[in-house]
Structure 1
Amino acid sequence: MPRRLALLLCLAGLALAQWAGATPAQSARPPASMQEDADPPAADPAVVAALRDADRAVQERLAARLAVIPGLEKSRVEVSGGVATLRGLAADDARRQLAATIAEQAQDVVLVENRLELDTDVRTRTAPVFEEAVERLRNLYSALPLLLVAGAIVVGAWWVGRWLSLRPGLQRRMRRNPFLVDLTRQAIRIGALLAGLVIALDLLDAGALVGALLGTAGVAGIAVGFAFRDVAENYIAGILLSLRQPFAPHDHVVIDGHEGKVAALTSRATVLVTLDGNHLRLPNALVFKGVMLNYSRNPQRQFAFDVGIANGASVSHAQRVGREALATIEGILEEPAPSVLILELGDSTTVLRVTAWIDQRNTSFAAARSEAIRLLKRAFLKHHIEMPDPGYRVELHQRGPGDPVAPAPPPSRPGAPALEAEAGASADLRAEHHIDRQIDRDHAATAGNLLDPDAPRE
């Protein structure tokens, strides 16, 4: 700064001396516009010398400063009239920009022209990498005791979580739901491990890493949730079904139109054995949201069928005969009593609705209904209760001119079975257990069954 101030004072003194020594003839010169062809005034040698001294001083300072910076040893600087030109080689682009910044901040520099090129020498380019790797190894070695403490915290948290998950109290509280016990144990272990990781990262002053991991986990969770939405839905529905226990093994159910006996409940699907012995797997989400009909919840079950009689037959007689026939079946319950009700009155048919109750634990539903239909038909035949014939019959009788008209015999129903053909031994109405035996075999081979036969039902 003093050098520049002295230079300015020198220039001002020269200007005053030049103005004071001007002659009247010189002062009467024409304006500058009239002297376009005149030569420009020459620079003052003293001013030029002062500027060169300033440039030389700036160049020496910049050259010394760049020489001590790693990666800029092969660079050089030239300063002329306050313009600094950088030439030579830089180790990388960061060093190149650093040199330009240093030159811009230097005193008496009005412009920087950066002509530095990147050094392609292998040794020069790899030296900073090795130096940084060595520095990181040194930092790691110095932080090794802290890393060991953080690792010990994580291992200790995992051990504490495992110890808490194996406490007998958890088993006693959830003894009716083994799946929930396993799920709770896993949640305790994972929660304790995550707590240990957070403490260890905080000890290592990696709080930003914890936030980044949590953010990444959140985004990944959303993506995985959309990708495996059906799997997650079935899994959650399996947990809720294991808590509610809406059915037990061997229950005869109809779920969303699918009928069968319950064999197993896994974390993803409910397994039914259909009445023809086939396995049917239903997604737990469908079971949880679908309409369910459980035939086994009430041991007593009613069967019903319709039967038609001719309009000429006595309805009350047919009802009495039907109730007596149903009362002879061993598996039919006396209370509620069987009933034969009028369902519909048609042009040629009176439709009766026949109902009766059985105990499913001892009597087969299908066999009891079949036997009731057989015995009711036999009783109607025995008591001459005519059943409707939907067909039309035309009978032609030939007679002579003088023959009297004889009354037509009562029409005989073609194909009407004889009463003796309906006689026979009673059917076996005992409850069938072959499906239950198949379910027991499958239950022993199914892993992860969430059904508890002793759990309370909703």
Structure 2
Amino acid sequence: MRNVLLLPFLIAMIFAAPATSQTAESDQPAGQIAVEDNAATDAAIATRIRDILEELDVYSKVTVSVSNGIVLLRGTTLDAASVLAVEELVSRVEGVVAVENRVIESTDLIERLDPLMERFSDRMQRSIAYLPLLLVALAAFVIVAALGILLARMKQPWDRLAPNMFIADIYRQIIRLVFVIAGLVVALDILNATALLSTILGAAGIIGLAIGFAVRDTVENFIASIMLSIRQPFRPNDSIEINGDEGMVIRLTSRATILLSFDGNHIRIPNSTVFKSRIVNYSRNAERRFVIDFGVAGDTDLTQARQIALTALKNLPFVIDAPAPGVWVEGLGDSTITLRCAGWVNQQDSSLVLARGEAIEVIKTALEDAGVEMPEPTYRLVSQYAGGSAPAPETPSVGKSKPATGKTPEQVDLKDVSADEALDDIVNEERDARQDNDLLTRQAPEE
């Protein structure tokens, strides 16, 4: 029964086999591949390649031979790039099966110099042809740059816009640079070479970056000079302290701050150091405090001593009422109690140093007149005597005051402590001698 069922299926397979075979054969290329050795075709290929190479002077020394579609190239060229280019060129010719490239780079001196002379001559001719256009571009550059230079030389509006001459000069330099770049852009645009500008600016940026790293301290000092000249932390004749250097300000230059010490010496501090340092300005406020310490005996009536010292301070004509003077107990020493006396003076009218000296003299006199003892340090020496007892030490009498030798508050004249103008005169003379090299102005904003 099973064989009977398989019989129809086998018959169908037998009739279907020829159809399947015909379909598979129809998918293959029809006809035969022709194989021929045609010398005429090789000659035609060689002739075509020679005609192409003859049009290119660089391949004038190259010979061509073709066999069975294989091209053999021999000869010399002027550079290695031409050796590779000729192989690519020949492979594009119809009928070429393969290319055997035996072309080498020429080492003949005359052959290599001839194209160089030709290129030089060609460039000279092109330069002469471009000369009128080049002159026009140069004239445009000169006109634009000259306009910027003339504009920068004007005093206004730069002197009015800038807080000082240093910033005004920076404005002028920026104007010159902007107009020079604008002139360069116009000239390159006339020459149709604006793409060259990006190369120039890129090179200038790299060079500027390298120079910036090389002169980093100088650049830092320059930037500090700009910041100090814009926001001036001090004024001419101000008494200041910078990193422990004290003196009166003479001038601020583009590189350094110059002080006149209280001994009459010049102190030159780089602006980068000034900008980063702690600056103490003693002249910014007209009122300034002086402090005096007195040591009194341990058994002194401190309330009475404080009142005596405070009264003496208030009676001094150069001590101002606001802020008010004060006296307080500062500390306890080995043999004394320290009273601290503080008073304020107006620096524009009185010298702090002279005022402090006069106050010491007056307060000392007042305390001594009141019987307040200001003992010196006492030392006890213990020793043994072979033949007897040691002599009794002399006991200082407590409460006895020494004769007053100083001035009383009523004897102090305000002129005795008037502000010393000698250093101010020196500073003013030096500033008047070099007014063109100073960045300090009274009109600049204060920090």
What range is the shorter-chain TM-score in? 0.7 to 0.9
Which residue in 1 is equivalent to 2:352? 365
Q: 1:305-344 alignment to 2 at 5 Å?
A: 305-326=292-313, 329=316, 331-333=318-320, 336-344=323-331
Counterpart of 1:71 in 2: which secondary structure? helix
Distance 1:188 1:365 in 2: 49
CA offset at residue 191 of structure 1?
0.8
For residues 70 and 256 of structure 1, do their structure 2 counterparts lie closer, same or farther at Cα, with a shift above 3 Å needed?
same
Which residue in 1 is equivalent to 2:202? 215
Equivalent in 219, 230, 254 of residue 243 of structure 1? 230
Distance 1:77 1:113 in 2: 10
Equivalent in 414, 437, 443 of residue 448 of structure 1? 437
Which residue in 2 is equivalent to 1:438? 426
| Residue type of the alignment partner of 1:281 | R
1:164-186: CA deviations, max 9, x gaps? 22445414523751112111111
Distance 1:417 1:189 in 2: 79
CA offset at residue 129 of structure 1?
1.0
The answer as to 2:59 corresponding to 1:75 is: no
> Which segments of 5 or more consecutive residues in structure 1 lack a partner in the other structure?
1-7, 13-46, 399-406
Q: Is the 8 A contact 1:170 1:181 kept in 2?
A: no
Q: Is the 8 A contact 1:100 1:112 kept in 2?
A: yes
For residues 55 and 395 of structure 1, do their structure 2 counterparts lie closer, same or farther at Cα, with a shift above 3 Å needed?
closer
Equivalent in 128, 131, 134 of residue 144 of structure 1? 131
Q: Is the 8 A contact 1:349 1:388 kept in 2?
A: yes
The answer as to 2:389 corresponding to 1:419 is: no
Distance 2:46 2:162 in 1: 86
1:285-320: CA deviations, max 9, x gaps? 333343322111222211012112113222233234
Equivalent in 37, 43, 48 of residue 61 of structure 1? 48
Equivalent in 274, 278, 290 of residue 303 of structure 1? 290
Q: 1:396-407 alignment to 2 at 5 Å?
A: none
Distance 1:100 1:11 in 2: 28
CA offset at residue 70 of structure 1?
0.9
Equivalent in 101, 105, 114 of residue 92 of structure 2? 105
- What is the TM-score with the length of structure 2 in the denominator? 0.79
Distance 1:189 1:369 in 2: 56
1:261-285: CA deviations, max 9, x gaps? 1121122322222222333333323
CA offset at residue 429 of structure 1?
2.9
Q: 1:265-284 alignment to 2 at 5 Å?
A: 265-284=252-271
For residues 175 and 195 of structure 1, do their structure 2 counterparts lie closer, same or farther at Cα, with a shift above 3 Å needed?
closer
1:60-89: CA deviations, max 9, x gaps? 332333234213222211212222111122
Distance 2:180 2:233 in 1: 35
CA offset at residue 125 of structure 1?
0.7
| Residue type of the alignment partner of 1:452 | T
Q: How many residues align?
A: 404
Distance 1:68 1:348 in 2: 116
Equivalent in 117, 138, 145 of residue 130 of structure 1? 117
Which residue in 1 is equivalent to 2:11? none
| Residue type of the alignment partner of 1:411 | P
The answer as to 2:337 corresponding to 1:350 is: yes
Q: Is the 8 A contact 1:358 1:365 kept in 2?
A: yes
Equivalent in 154, 168, 175 of residue 181 of structure 1? 168
For residues 273 and 75 of structure 1, do their structure 2 counterparts lie closer, same or farther at Cα, with a shift above 3 Å needed?
same
1:178-200: CA deviations, max 9, x gaps? 11211111111111111121122
Distance 2:330 2:86 in 1: 105
Deviates more, 1:164-173 or 1:202-211: 164-173
Q: Is the 8 A contact 1:342 1:351 kept in 2?
A: yes
Deviates more, 1:348-357 or 1:193-202: 348-357
- What is the TM-score with the length of structure 1 in the denominator? 0.77
C-alpha RMSD of the superposition: 3.4
Which residue in 1 is equivalent to 2:8? none
Which residue in 2 is equivalent to 1:18? none
1:197-238: CA deviations, max 9, x gaps? 112212222222112222223333333333333322221221
The answer as to 2:72 corresponding to 1:85 is: yes
Which residue in 1 is equivalent to 2:279? 292
Q: Is the 8 A contact 1:174 1:180 kept in 2?
A: no
Q: Is the 8 A contact 2:362 2:407 kept in 1?
A: no
| Residue type of the alignment partner of 1:227 | A
| Residue type of the alignment partner of 1:457 | E
Percent identical residues? 38
Q: Is the 8 A contact 1:268 1:283 kept in 2?
A: yes
Counterpart of 2:292 in 1: which secondary structure? strand
1:11-31: CA deviations, max 9, x gaps? 58xxxxxxxxxxxxxxxxxxx
Equivalent in 170, 180, 193 of residue 180 of structure 2? 193
Distance 2:68 2:347 in 1: 112
Which residue in 1 is equivalent to 2:15? none
Deviates more, 1:438-447 or 1:140-149: 438-447
Q: Is the 8 A contact 1:67 1:75 kept in 2?
A: no
Distance 1:340 1:330 in 2: 17
> Which segments of 5 or more consecutive residues in structure 2 lack a partner in the other structure?
1-30, 386-391
Counterpart of 1:143 in 2: which secondary structure? helix
Q: Is the 8 A contact 1:272 1:281 kept in 2?
A: yes
